Structure 1
């Protein structure tokens, strides 16, 4: 995973531990994929709801989490009783192949899990249009998600779509600044910012704005960027040159529009470090018109703006059409409740960025997709509740 994708060995090791936990949790939850008995209207009758697997699933995963994302789709579908045809990203094939090999070695029946590769458009079109496939599960960009949903609609096939995000972070005056800054740095550099739920727009209350920006920038400057196989590296390379070039372009454009560069802003190249590296970057006072404020950077780029009232902060947070995740840092219970109620996102983190966990539903709203994975809700998404009315 580290060699193919660029993340540090620490992150890769953690990801595979989550892969194992995902398989174990879904296997256990399969025993609780229960239906129900409905009180009968007449004596001698039985009214039942029986949960039935939808059938073969076509799953498509990106390159940013080459272990966890395939494992979620495979484990959840199998727990529901469905077979799977999965197409992982061509850039990071080894992790999915490794998972498939482990499942085969563990005794998974032949044909239950199938891994395919090829031209993405050709593979997705062929699978989704096939009469065999009864469910589509995709993680990736909003643009591609729309196309796959259109294909699935032709066959009236249900979809689970986990698409892009542009997560806002509301930092209130009463937040614990030390903890908030440390948490925000770790949240931003995780997987070099190549995370759909990655915190990007830091909307900070004016009373602590300058202090937050200064301390956040200083902390980002201390991050050690280097090869993922180097134990000293705290953040690895971006996955490919496309991502590095896109981040570089967004940084340049944001600064040209009046943004103030606080930390990073360069490739971080040195004599012994060449490749797709990019220093963790913080730009303050970024205008709304900047492209990075409207399009997901998908890299280690943080953007800071200020606000005065809760209403103003929520208006900016909800301004974009994306709604995957949103966050707030505050010690006020009342503020936390307001934010949790008003953020237009699928997952809310208060004083944390952990909004995607095995036992809980995860999914977006608006342009961030529909449907969920995780929790018992995720398994139910692969099942149909069949109603049985038996009269003796």
Structure 2
């Protein structure tokens, strides 16, 4: 852990064993916070906010730009840590480093654009609107993007003038600490950002009960998000919630089928499908359904699976032993209910957390996997008669994080943009996020945004001042 700039070792503390999911090898022992540690972190966050809220735009920008430059210099070391801890390929981990670099650079510019406004008033009176940092932020980041998620949780609050207590995933601590170290080395005062690890329920309960914390930022499951929102509500803390998804992909008969398959199949299986915005439910027009299933299955079966640092590997292991177990359960239920298993559906080997790229066709809607986000390397492909039925299926679930659509019909593109219930929509592309674009969902996929100007505004409060 890091509290007030000081690295905290094991000493008397309970520990968590960090393992490489490709080999099962223990990478190290992680100290877990006790209540005394959390109290120290809260005290530091209070001091850090009192200091950093008054930092100039230039000072904040220098830290963010400096951290971006250091991440670029340390790109290979950061990527290696992410691959060892989380399992993703080195190529994907390098992309994740660059996501952080671009985001930090973007916010280094945005800090100079925290504009207020002056209202028109009679002579002798002035009314102004200003934006101020919300206060210390408790930020909870999951393991699937071990570099990018901590980067998101740190960049916007620091740009806004807030302090942060980051609780990243216990499975991937070195990645998160590597990002934080870049900020320290770029000049961020130690009290401004802390990193603690521990039992998630204990840490969240303790931090959110403290009046020091004024905002909660959480990325994770809908069930946990609902619980944390209730805790935050006790003290009316602001919340940004990026929760689960079950990404629909609408594919119409007017597309270049082979070109679409060449794009969506690799995108489905990146990070072994452990992506909140992963394309998952493929909603395919009847006219091209059989060819789509055949082409998708052929490509999925050919994906090279192995340790993420091996040359030529396209998909690494799942991040922890819980995930293959969950896949076996979901796939077994789908097949038992009549779904067709086209390829995959089982673990690979007896070492590590490898699970084969899996394709299910004609899966009944009452199958558990059609209701619950699989968060793994499983693609679900079903046929639909027309546009109305396809939109209805896309909107059927209470989730609305990301959706995808493939069609050459411009008028249909406009209809889909209006009718699909989602926070983000990609039409004829797999690109769903960027540093300058707001990232967030609707319905059970959460509220608020990260990235873009909206991510910075989420860390600010508005004050109106009237002077007579």
Tell me the TM-score normalised to structure 2 length: 0.81
Match of 2:443 among 343, 350, 366: 366
Q: Residue 310 of structure 1: CA displacement? A: 1.0
Matched residues in 1 for 2:127 and 2:453: separation?
23
Specify the SS of the correspondent of 1:144: helix
Match of 1:82 among 139, 158, 162: 162
Q: Give a deviation string over 1:12-48, Cα, whole Å, max 9, x none.
A: 11111211221111111111111112222x1132221
- Report the secondary structure of 2:303's partner residue: coil
| Counterpart residue number, 2:199 | 119
Distance in 2 separating the partners of 1:39 and 1:183: 52
Aligned position for 1:337: 414
Q: Deviations over 1:62-91 (max 9, x none)?
A: 000011111111000111111101100001
Match of 2:66 in 1: none
2:340 maps to which residue? 260
Match for residue 214 of structure 1?
Answer: 294
Superposed displacement of residue 266, structure 1: 2.1
Which secondary structure state, in structure 2, belongs to the residue aligned with residue 78 of structure 1? helix
8 Å CA contact 1:238–1:244 kept in 2: the answer is yes
1:56 aligns with 2:147: no
Of 348-357 and 191-200, more deviation after overlay is shown by 348-357
Give the Cα separation in 1 of the matches to 2:312 and 2:440: 34
Query: Could you tell me which of 415, 423, 432 is aligned with 1:346?
Result: 423
1:284 — aligned with what?
A: 361
Quote the offset at 1:386 in angstroms: 0.8
The residue that corresponds to 2:259 in the other structure is: 179
Contact map agreement 1:33 1:376 (CA 8 A) in 2:
no
Aligned to 2:373: 296
How far the C-alpha of 1:332 sits from its partner, in A, is: 0.8
Give the 3-state SS of the residue equivalent to 1:201 in structure 2: strand
How far the C-alpha of 1:52 sits from its partner, in A, is 0.6
Q: Determine the C-alpha separation between the residues in 2 that align with 1:229 and 1:138.
A: 30
Residue equivalent to 1:69: 149
Confirm or deny that 1:28 pairs with 2:126.
no
Does residue 323 of structure 2 align to residue 243 of structure 1?
yes
1:131 and 2:206 correspond: no
CA distance in 2, matches of 1:35, 1:186: 44
Displacement of 1:279: 1.2
Q: Write the deviation string for residues 341-388 of structure 1: whole angstroms up to 9, x where unpaired.
A: 111111111012221221011111111111111111111111011111
1-structure distance, mates of 2:339, 2:202: 42
Task: Give distance in 2, aligned partners of 1:12 and 1:361.
Answer: 22
Say whether 1:379 aligns with 2:379: no
Higher RCO (Cα < 8 Å, 6 or more apart): 1
Offset of residue 184 of structure 1: 1.1
Answer yes or no: is 1:232 the counterpart of 2:336: no
- 1:98 to partner: Cα distance: 0.7
Aligned counterparts of 1:356 and 1:145: Cα–Cα separation in 2: 22
Q: Does the residue aligned with 2:183 lie in a helix, a strand or coil?
A: helix
Alpha-carbon distance in structure 1 between the residues aligned to 2:308 and 2:255 = 33
**SS of the counterpart of 1:70?**
helix
Aligned counterpart, 1:37: 118
What corresponds to 1:159 in structure 2?
A: 239
> Is 2:83 aligned against 1:2?
yes
Structure with the higher helix share, 1 or 2: 2
TM-superposed deviation, 1:212: 0.5
Looking at structure 2, the residues matched to 364 and 112 of structure 1 have their Cα atoms a distance apart, in angstroms, of 29
RMSD over aligned Cα atoms: 1.0
Residue 253 of structure 1: how far off its partner (Å): 1.4
- Counterparts of 2:422 and 2:395 in 1: how far apart (Å)? 8
Q: Contact 1:9/1:231 (CA < 8 Å) preserved in 2?
A: no
What is the alpha-carbon distance in structure 1 between the residues aligned to residue 348 and residue 288 of structure 2? 29
Distance in 2, Cα, partners of 1:75 & 1:362: 14
Structure 2: how far apart are the matches of 1:353 and 1:124? 34
Which residue of 2 is the match for residue 313 of structure 1? 390
Tell me the alpha carbon deviations over residues 94-128 of structure 1, each in whole angstroms, 9 at most, x when there is no partner: 11111111111111112011111111111111111
Write the distance in 1 (CA, Å) between the matches of 2:443 and 2:356. 31
The secondary structure found in structure 1 opposite 2:434 is: coil
Contact 1:323 1:368 survives alignment (8 Å): yes
